[in-house]
């Protein structure tokens, strides 16, 4: 069993990791690896945004490109989307897991397979986000089918944007958001449970899955905005990444939840005022 002092030490790592207080060389290597992976992911995202295949990230243009082979285009679209989605998870979500990975590294630092155990945590975490991304992809395709089949929606696409912004804004104030955010900000219980239950290989993977579920529960609405603003929109990606990192990793991050919600709700009102027929003439 871990002593009370050890538990307190692990708990303090959440803030110390981001402030740069590395307690040993292993943790320094871990933080360096996360930084390198994150930077590479951002670089590859930028490259993908300027590649010829970036057209598959935009359904409106992508649907019009199905001319020679429907199956080929759908396959390319799904493959490119999956690749970019995983890169987005590495670039935007991996930095938010730093407190979890640091605490886990503290416990397994003397284990012979510590890097494998860390890799399994990341794999479990990414698997949850991959499933969520797949479901989001299917929902997005179905939604675009509805839009194409509905002339009014096709001409008033802004309604979907306003609805999404409003949904994200309201979600920021829900108990589910608060609960999942607390779990993400305080991963100590998950880490200790994985450490104490044996079969570390499985527990490491399940630790990543468990944390990923809470992370999706906390951040799904913010990630949903990428489908409104367009995948590959670097400005929004940077803003959302910053918001999620601050919310989950900084001592005062929870106080950002309400201002973000208010901001998105104000954005919803602006979209409505600018686009509804009664007020559109004023602009």
Instruction: Answer whether residue 64 shows pLDDT above 80.
Output: no
Instruction: Answer whether residue 132 shows pLDDT above 90.
Output: yes
What does the pLDDT look like over 216-226, one tens digit per residue? 999 999 888 87
How is the chain split into domains, by residue range? 4-280
The pLDDT score that the predictor gives to residue 151 is 86
The band of 8, judged by pLDDT with boundaries at 50, 70 and 90, is very low
Instruction: Answer whether residue 283 shows pLDDT above 70.
Output: no
What does the pLDDT look like over 146-202, one tens digit per residue? 888 888 888 888 888 899 999 999 999 999 999 999 999 888 888 988 888 778 899
The band of 24, judged by pLDDT with boundaries at 50, 70 and 90, is low
Q: What is the mean pLDDT of the chain?
A: 80
The pLDDT score that the predictor gives to residue 25 is 77
Q: What is the mean pLDDT of residues 21-42?
A: 83
Instruction: Answer whether residue 54 shows pLDDT above 80.
Output: no
The band of 244, judged by pLDDT with boundaries at 50, 70 and 90, is very high
Rounded-to-integer distance, Cα 178 and Cα 184, Å: 10
What does the pLDDT look like over 111-122, one tens digit per residue? 888 899 999 999
The pLDDT score that the predictor gives to residue 237 is 84
Instruction: Answer whether residue 231 shows pLDDT above 90.
Output: no
Instruction: Answer whether residue 1 shows pLDDT above 60.
Output: no
**Whole-angstrom Cα Rg for the chain:** 21
Rounded-to-integer distance, Cα 234 and Cα 238, Å: 6
């Amino acid at each position: 069993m871990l002593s009370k002092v050890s538990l307190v030490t692990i708990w303090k790592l959440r803030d110390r990791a981001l402030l740069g207080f590395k307690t040993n060389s292993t943790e320094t290597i871990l933080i360096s690896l996360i930084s390198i992976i994150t930077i590479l992911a951002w670089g590859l995202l930028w490259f993908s945004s300027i590649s010829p295949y970036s057209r598959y990230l935009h359904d409106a243009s992508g649907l019009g490109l199905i001319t020679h082979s429907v199956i080929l285009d759908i396959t390319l679209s799904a493959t490119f989307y999956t690749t970019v989605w995983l890169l987005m998870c590495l670039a935007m979500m991996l930095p938010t897991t730093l407190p979890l990975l640091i605490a886990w590294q503290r416990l397994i630092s003397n284990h012979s397979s510590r890097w494998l155990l860390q890799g399994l945590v990341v794999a479990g975490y990414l698997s949850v986000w991959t499933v969520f991304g797949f479901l989001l992809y299917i929902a997005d395709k179905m939604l675009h089918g509805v839009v194409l089949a509905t002339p009014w929606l096709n001409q008033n696409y802004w309604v979907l944007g306003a609805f999404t912004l409003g949904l994200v804004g309201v979600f920021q104030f829900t108990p589910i958001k608060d609960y999942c955010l607390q779990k993400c900000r305080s991963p100590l219980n998950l880490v200790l449970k994985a450490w104490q239950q044996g079969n570390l290989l499985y527990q490491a993977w399940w630790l990543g899955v468990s944390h990923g579920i809470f992370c999706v529960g906390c951040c799904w609405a913010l990630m949903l905005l990428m489908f409104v603003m367009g995948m590959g929109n670097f400005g929004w990606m940077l803003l959302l990444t910053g918001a999620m990192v601050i919310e989950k990793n900084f001592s005062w991050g929870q106080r950002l939840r309400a201002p973000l919600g208010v901001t998105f709700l104000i954005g919803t009102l602006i979209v409505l005022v600018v686009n509804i027929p009664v007020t559109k003439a004023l602009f």
